[in-house]
A and B are shown apart, each in its own frame.
Chain A
């Protein structure tokens, strides 16, 4: 089954404790992206990647890092989480060819205390 898998789905952590949210897709998509969803703001792009070892900032990259060492994986790293990073995070992927739609993971709800 074609899917984007995120882990963990739910996480409560404390300020400053490094964490990683993993994302993996099994569709051989070149493009992967991370979004955060906040009430009233819709989805805002954090980082995206056009292919292995190619990443770029989205609209709200501050406080986040990503890496793309393999085509299928695109982890989101919060080196020193802060309460304003409490949010619902989505990973998504798609082909670069044409105008394909994004495939989304189920989301990761992060709470930073």
Chain B
């Protein structure tokens, strides 16, 4: 069965420092992997996706994610965090062709000035 794990409920980082939000997955076929961000009182917004090709994927707002097939991970990264990056981040996985997206529980990112 497909599953997504975000092992950290919350990540704290100082502004200007690099950030990493972790995600591991379990899927039977070739995974399609996504990151979404949710700001307070808003719906989820797409950040980036991995379908195939280069393991390093670049997305919106300076975020990137690295696909690691051997570790079944898809960690979200940013070289220099901003206070405005503070939000709830969701990793999601889809078995190609099934149109069913499984979300992780979410990780709250807090960037301190």
Chain A residues with a Cβ under 8 A of chain B: 4, 31, 35, 40-45, 48, 50, 58, 90, 92, 96, 99, 101-107
Q: Is the CB of B43 within 8 A of A99?
A: no
Tell me whether A104 and B43 are in contact in the complex, defined as CB-CB below 8 angstroms, given that A40-B105, A99-B49 are known contacts: yes
Expressed in whole angstroms, the Cα–Cα distance for A18 and B49 within the complex equals 38
For A41, the chain B residues whose CB sits under 8 A away are 105
Top 5 nearest A-B pairs (CB, nearest first) are: A104-B43, A101-B46, A43-B103, A42-B105, A42-B103
> Are A105 and B49 in contact, with the CB atoms below 8 A?
no
A107 CB contact (under 8 Å) in B42, B46, B51: B42
Q: At the interface, yes or no: B99 with Cβ under 8 Å from chain A?
A: yes
Chain B hits for A50, CB < 8 A: 99
**Which of B4, B41, B45, B49 is close to A104, meaning CB atoms less than 8 Å apart?**
B45
What residues of chain B lie closer than 8 Å to A45, measured between beta carbons? Answer: 100-101
Q: 0/1 per residue, B38-69, Cβ < 8 Å to A?
A: 00011111100101000000000000000000
B44 adjacent to A90 (CB under 8 Å)? yes
Chain A residues with CB below 8 A from B90, complex form:
42-43
CB distance from A47 to the nearest CB of B (A): 12
Query: 1/0 per position for B84-103, CB-CB distance to A under 8 A?
Result: 00000010001010011101
Q: Which residues of B contact A31 (CB under 8 A)?
A: 99
